[in-house]
Amino acid sequence: MGPTQAELAKRMNTTQAAIARIENGAVMPGTGMLERLARAARKRVALV
């Protein structure tokens, strides 16, 4: 299991609510946010 929304938010210096909006599809994150999210989740992202 991966990090919680709160853990990701802390790593990204954002709020848990912001992570929830991305996860629920209410917000379409930009490439910068995707890169930050990938680093916080310790994953790689590939834009094709």
pLDDT at 46: 84
pLDDT at 29: 92
Tens-of-pLDDT digits for all 48 residues of the chain? 888 999 999 999 999 999 999 999 999 999 899 999 999 988 888 878
* Structural Rg of the chain based on CA atoms: 10
pLDDT at 16: 96
